[in-house]
Amino acid sequence: MKNRIEVSCPHCQSNQIEPSLAISTFCRSCGQHYKIAKKEEKKRFGFLQPKVKEGAFAIPDKKITPHELKTRPLPPREESRVPAAAAPEPIQERAPELAVESQEEVPMDDAPTNVAEASRVLPLSLADILSKGTGRQVLCFECPAIHEVPADASSTICPSCSTYINLQSVEIRKHSSQRVQTRGDVTIYKNGSHVGSELRCHDLKVLGEVGGTIDASGTITFKHDARVQGEVRCAKLVVDKKVTVKFEKPVLIGGEAEIDGDVTGDIECGGSMRLQKYACLDGSLRAAGISVDPGAELLAETEIVRKG
């Protein structure tokens, strides 16, 4: 394929296709991260050789063919020592339980019956994302898979569907109508605006104007008045004190919401909604719980949905 190369993982020797400009990637077989050689090594050996740590996979001085490299035996691996207390249970004991669960029938009433009902599925909550591990967690754009990447990574590839994911943060300081798609953080500054196109990110901080469709895997924080014409999906919603936000289309929140300003719209919250002292909520609210501080106003039609 044009502008693509075949690289081999130095850990498990599996081959995969990557863009020719890529400098590193994740192995889709073993999940290990490794660097891809530069053009100088291509001139020397006649093919691209992945860069690995010194001593992990020695490169000979003489020129060899790609076939000889693939058939070359791997160095011995050190077996990881697992404590006896942390050892998994034998598969013979767990097999009967799995067999019983697989025989249970799922009622058809719980499945979405149309497109409108399926679109009301709440996004992942912030707690679900953070509970996956201690590193940087990334939610895929195309599938609900979450995987961990190094904290300083600038891009990654979804191990489930192989979708490329940009991880760089974006700062908007002037008017912009271009589509933004990243799992980094986006900040819209005082003199900046993003109207008329989709914005997908992790955390979003609004100090200027925003008006398009928003899909955030983290927290959306409104520090400036806004009129959002598109749909909004996020893990957490925060509206600061005396900030006016009007949502013209439904808002889906996977986790909690904290409002201390004037908010109008149809909101569905998977966690609890807290209305602070200067809050005023108008429209409709469907949440797992709600708390109203003294001084707050609740004018929305409210429905409390208990979990489970």
- Between 22 and 168, the higher pLDDT residue: 168
Task: Provide mean pLDDT across the span 101-123.
Answer: 49
Task: Provide mean pLDDT across the span 84-104.
Answer: 45
Domains of the chain, by residue range, sit at: 4-70, 119-164, 171-304
Global pTM reads: 0.60
Instruction: Please give the mean pLDDT across all residues of the chain.
Output: 77
Contact 32, 26 (CB under 8 A): yes
Beta-carbon neighbour count of residue 281 at 10 Å?
Answer: 25
Q: What percent of the chain is predicted at pLDDT more than 90?
A: 45
Q: Write down the residue that tokens 């409104």 correspond to.
A: 222
pLDDT at 66 > cutoff 50: yes
pLDDT at 162 > cutoff 60: yes
Contact 208, 224 (CB under 8 A): yes
DSSP for 41-89 reads HHHHHSS---B--TTTSPPPSS---HHHHHTSPPPPPPPPP--TTTPPP
Q: What percent of the chain is predicted at pLDDT more than 70?
A: 67
pLDDT at 204 > cutoff 80: yes
Cα 25 to the chain's mean position, in Å? 18
Q: Which residues pair with 136 in a beta bridge?
A: 149
Grade residue 131 by pLDDT with cuts at 50, 70 and 90.
Answer: low
Q: Is 31 left (phi over 0), alpha (psi -120 to 50) or beta?
A: left
Instruction: Quick: pLDDT tens for 229-282.
Output: 999 999 999 999 989 999 999 999 999 999 999 999 999 999 999 999 999 999
pLDDT, residue 9, reads 81
Task: Provide mean pLDDT across the span 51-68.
Answer: 48
Contact 56, 10 (CB under 8 A): yes
Grade residue 69 by pLDDT with cuts at 50, 70 and 90.
Answer: low
What would the two tokens of residue 47 be?
């093919």
